């Protein structure tokens, strides 16, 4: 058995607001092995970004991790630590954040400071994690820019974010994230704001860097194509919960949860012309304060079982002898007699 | 609607050009131009869907807005078949008759959050085009709005609510209802589903297709998501830096692309199937600046198939097969890869 780099168990991050508690992440469990890619896929508001931010303890106010464990194999701590127990400002957290776990944001325009050169920003990141002079840091920044494929790295270092195109900005962002040689890179919608040809470039770059550095990637995206391209394992999230977790081939070719099935069916095929209607998931994503009781997907589910799905919350359970887990009463009937009949 | 020969194209765009001037100083001296749309031509048949695809900044949105003169074109002809069966050049129509003509052409916008006024109720939003075009009776308007809401799958009881009470998909339905208010024949939909989640996106695509069938609509569909484009369109034009580089039927463009850019675009799309993973060809470089495009063929700095001629001479859009237009010097000799499903 391979040692896990990161193991998240039943993570819950809630946002208490005046109107009520938003359960952004409401029980997510997954593992990441060194050098592998885990994809988290889900629609807007499902909490996938909050998962990434929870791992680094940079949750927006008033969000808080209220339950669960984030076990991380940390070098600076010399072993397994539970990041969920750390305070956001603790020395260990500051070493891990940006050091051992780095983050690439979605919006490369707003995630850089507009009033500092990109070079200075990368240098700042390097000096935060390494005790080196500015000169050495600058040389390292130039190396990093070259590594991520930015042409004329030396002159680009002296430019401001607005002078770089979207693709170059995202490369600079990746360079910054790589500055301390992280073991895990969290990529939160890293290509969503980019055009397809640039997206292909960035995805290739991430794959190459992953191989070179034996770095694990947590890929957070709503784009099933990107997931299929990149991930080894997938977590499908719906309304804060992981509803299906498994390896990439199982998820795409033998989805078990009705939500995963619906999601995959609703993408039009690029291989064929449209014949008739697209299968779609009925209804819309419920409001955070108005989540259905029982299984949160039941109001949109084609396989809804009256008296089952609305009364109890399904838990993630393994399917057969595989490592895949699904939370659905259709797959794992609650009562023994139902199992016998079905 | 008068009897109109269905064979006549609804819209014929000829040599459409839109340049945005670049000015400097307080005298606003013109020092150059962004060639957003640089001499493009296409035709759209009645009841069909025509898609304009390309990457951001290629001019697809500007081109679509020129059609109804939301953006005033610099030059070119836009011949539109009006409901009386006459062909009118939209660019020549004076202001007052243009308003009348715009009953026939309406827009659906990309951002369902930005395109609806938060201070107006649904009744006001969907009813506004009716009011503008002279339906002053409140009750009559409310009836029509209710009818439109049912048509797009919203409950008419909600017409006194405001946009914030609706989700993205529902808001997009409101935008569609507003566009349909005046019984248009041409709908220009600028990225109508790209802001929506996958599960909701399919619903809106289905709605657009149902409406097309019911009302005989013609669509200009501006999009960058190629799988959606393949599903919904009949013909496609691929744009690159203000020019159409290739146009043709959906099948031609996807399975038998003749322009290297089209092929590269198709290869870049991540396929939602892990078994289709392969080492793919990745297009190098970045989109050219439309204010300062390269010499010759605009695509040559990124093109893997370029020859000397491409650097010096700009290719023209030529019909190389029936209804398949390509602007590439090497269109006939190149053997480019299209998208064919891998054997499953």
pLDDT at A76: 85
pLDDT at B4: 53
- Say if strands A317-318 and A325-326 run parallel, antiparallel, or are unpaired: antiparallel
Average pLDDT over residues A293-314: 90
Average pLDDT over residues A200-208: 92
In this complex, do A168 and B198 lie within 8 Å of one another by their Cβ atoms? no
A282: chain B residues, CB-CB within 8 Å: 203
Nearest to A173 by CA among A187, A194, A159: A187
pLDDT at B341: 67
Residue B205 and residue B121: Cα distance in Å, rounded? 25
- Residue to mutate among B49, B174, B197, B275, with most A CBs inside 10 A, is B197
A167: chain B residues, CB-CB within 8 Å: 286
In this complex, do A200 and B227 lie within 8 Å of one another by their Cβ atoms? no
pLDDT at A107: 75
From the list A197, A271, A284, the residue facing B200 with the nearest CB is A284
**pLDDT at A303 > cutoff 60:** yes
pLDDT at B342: 56
Residue A293 and residue B221: Cα distance in Å, rounded? 40
Q: What is the secondary structure of A213-242 as a DSSP string?
A: HT-EEEEEES-HHHHHHH-SEEEEEETTEE
CB B72 within 8 A of CB B20: no
**pLDDT at A338 > cutoff 60:** no
CB A245 within 8 A of CB A214: no
ipTM score of complex? 0.85
What percent of chain B is predicted at pLDDT more than 90? 68
**pLDDT at B7 > cutoff 80:** no
pLDDT at B55: 87
Bridge partners (DSSP) of residue A217 are: A37, A185
**pLDDT at B343 > cutoff 80:** no
Contacts of A51 (CB under 8 A, 6+ apart): A8, A11, A13, A25, A28, A40, A220, A237
pLDDT at A2: 56
CB B167 within 8 A of CB B113: no
pLDDT at A342: 41
In this complex, do B167 and A284 lie within 8 Å of one another by their Cβ atoms? yes
In this complex, do A270 and B250 lie within 8 Å of one another by their Cβ atoms? no
Compute the nearest-CA separation of A134 from chain B (Å): 31
| Domain ranges, ordered by start, for chain B | 1-104+185-198+210-344, 120-183
pLDDT at B41: 94
Residue B334 and residue B315: Cα distance in Å, rounded? 15
Cα dist from B78 to A219, B283, B319, whole Å: 46, 34, 21
From the list A248, A252, A280, the residue facing B202 with the nearest CB is A280
In this complex, do B202 and A278 lie within 8 Å of one another by their Cβ atoms? yes
pLDDT digits (tens, 9 = 90+) for B86-108: 899 999 999 888 988 989 999 99
pLDDT digits (tens, 9 = 90+) for B271-318: 899 988 877 778 888 888 888 889 999 999 999 999 999 999 999 999
In this complex, do B270 and A203 lie within 8 Å of one another by their Cβ atoms? yes
CATH of domain A1-100+182-198+213-268+278-291: 3.40.50.300
Residue B280 and residue B270: Cα distance in Å, rounded? 10
pLDDT at B234: 95
What average pLDDT is seen over chain A? 90
| Domain ranges, ordered by start, for chain A | 1-100+182-198+213-268+278-291, 112-181
pLDDT digits (tens, 9 = 90+) for A50-75: 999 999 999 988 999 999 999 999 98
In this complex, do A279 and B254 lie within 8 Å of one another by their Cβ atoms? no
**pLDDT at B83 > cutoff 60:** yes
Compute the nearest-CA separation of B218 from chain A (Å): 16
From the list A203, A228, A278, the residue facing B205 with the nearest CB is A278
pLDDT digits (tens, 9 = 90+) for A226-283: 999 999 999 999 999 999 999 999 999 999 999 999 999 998 888 887 677 888 888 8
pLDDT at A194: 85
What average pLDDT is seen over chain B? 90
Average pLDDT over residues A285-295: 86
A197: chain B residues, CB-CB within 8 Å: 55, 264-265, 268, 282-283
Q: What is the secondary structure of A50-80 as a DSSP string?
A: HHHHHHHT-PPTT-EEEEEEEEEEETTTTEE
- Say if strands B75-81 and B49-53 run parallel, antiparallel, or are unpaired: unpaired
pLDDT digits (tens, 9 = 90+) for B138-187: 999 999 999 999 999 999 999 999 999 888 889 999 999 999 999 999 99
In this complex, do A249 and B198 lie within 8 Å of one another by their Cβ atoms? no
What percent of chain A is predicted at pLDDT more than 90? 63
Q: Does domain B1-104+185-198+210-344 match CATH 3.20.20.20? A: no
Compute the nearest-CA separation of A47 from chain B (Å): 14
């Amino acid at each position: 058995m391979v040692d896990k780099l990161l193991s998240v168990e039943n993570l819950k991050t809630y946002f208490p607001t005046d109107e009520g508690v938003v359960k952004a992440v409401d029980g997510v469990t997954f593992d990441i092995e060194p050098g592998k890619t885990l994809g988290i896929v889900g629609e807007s508001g499902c909490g996938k970004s909050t998962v990434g931010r929870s791992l680094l303890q940079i949750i927006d106010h008033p969000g808080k991790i209220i339950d669960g464990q984030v076990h991380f194999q940390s070098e600076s701590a010399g072993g397994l630590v539970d990041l969920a127990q750390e305070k956001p400002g603790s020395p260990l957290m500051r070493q891990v954040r940006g050091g051992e776990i780095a983050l690439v944001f979605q919006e490369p325009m707003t995630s850089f400071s507009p009033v500092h050169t990109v070079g200075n920003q990368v240098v700042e990141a390097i000096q935060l994690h390494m005790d080196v002079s500015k000169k050495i840091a600058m040389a390292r920044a130039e190396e990093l820019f070259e590594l991520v494929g930015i042409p004329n790295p030396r002159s680009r270092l002296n430019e401001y974010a607005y002078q770089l195109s979207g693709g170059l900005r995202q490369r600079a962002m990746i360079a910054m994230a790589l500055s301390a040689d992280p073991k895990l890179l969290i990529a939160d919608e890293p290509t969503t704001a980019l055009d397809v040809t640039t997206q292909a470039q960035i995805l290739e770059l991430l794959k190459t860097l992953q191989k070179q550095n034996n770095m694990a990637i947590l890929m957070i995206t709503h784009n099933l194509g990107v997931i299929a391209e990149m991930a080894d394992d997938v977590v499908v999230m719906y309304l804060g919960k992981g509803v299906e977790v498994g390896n990439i081939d199982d998820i795409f070719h033998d989805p078990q949860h009705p939500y995963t099935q619906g999601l995959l069916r609703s993408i039009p095929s690029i291989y064929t012309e449209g014949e008739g209607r697209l299968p779609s998931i009925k209804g819309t994503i419920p409001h955070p304060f108005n989540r259905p009781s029982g299984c949160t997907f039941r109001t949109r589910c084609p396989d809804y079982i009256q008296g089952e799905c609305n009364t109890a919350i399904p838990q993630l359970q393994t399917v057969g002898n595989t490592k895949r887990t699904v939370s659905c009463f259709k797959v794992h009937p609650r009562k023994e007699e139902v199992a016998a009949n079905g | 609607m008068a009897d109109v020969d269905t064979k006549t194209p609804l819209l014929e765009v000829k040599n459409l050009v839109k340049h945005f001037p670049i000015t400097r100083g307080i005298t606003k001296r013109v020092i150059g131009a962004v060639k957003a749309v640089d001499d493009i031509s296409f035709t759209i048949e009645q009841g069909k869907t025509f898609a304009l695809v390309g990457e951001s900044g290629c001019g697809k949105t500007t081109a679509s807005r020129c059609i109804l003169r939301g953006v005033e074109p610099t030059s070119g002809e836009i011949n539109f078949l009006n409901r009386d069966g006459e062909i009118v050049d939209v660019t020549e129509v004076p202001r007052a008759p243009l308003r009348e003509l715009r009953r026939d052409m309406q827009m659906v916008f990309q951002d369902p959050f930005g395109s609806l006024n938060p201070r107006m109720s649904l009744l006001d939003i969907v009813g506004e085009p009716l009011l503008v075009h002279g339906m002053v009776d409140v009750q009559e308007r409310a009836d029509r709005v209710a009818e439109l809401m049912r048509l797009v799958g919203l409950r008419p009881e909600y017409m006194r609510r405001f946009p914030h009470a609706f989700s993205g998909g529902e808001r997009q339905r409101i935008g569609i209802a507003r566009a349909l208010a005046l019984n248009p024949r041409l709908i220009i939909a600028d990225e109508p589903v790209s802001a929506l989640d996958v599960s909701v996106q399919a619903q809106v695509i289905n709605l657009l297709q149902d409406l097309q069938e019911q009302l005989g609509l013609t669509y200009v569909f501006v999009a960058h998501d190629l799988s959606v484009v393949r599903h919904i369109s009949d013909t496609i034009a691929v744009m690159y830096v203000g020019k159409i580089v290739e146009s043709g039927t959906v099948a031609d463009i996807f399975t038998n692309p003749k322009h290297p850019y089209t092929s590269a675009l198709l290869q870049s799309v991540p396929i939602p199937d892990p078994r289709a993973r392969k080492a793919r060809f990745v297009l190098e470089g970045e989109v050219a600046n439309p204010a300062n495009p390269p010499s010759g063929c605009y695509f040559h700095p990124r093109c893997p198939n370029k020859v000397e001629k491409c650097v010096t001479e700009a290719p023209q859009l030529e019909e190389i097969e029936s209804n398949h237009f390509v602007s590439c010097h090497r269109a006939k000799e190149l053997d480019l890869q299209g998208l064919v499903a891998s054997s499953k």
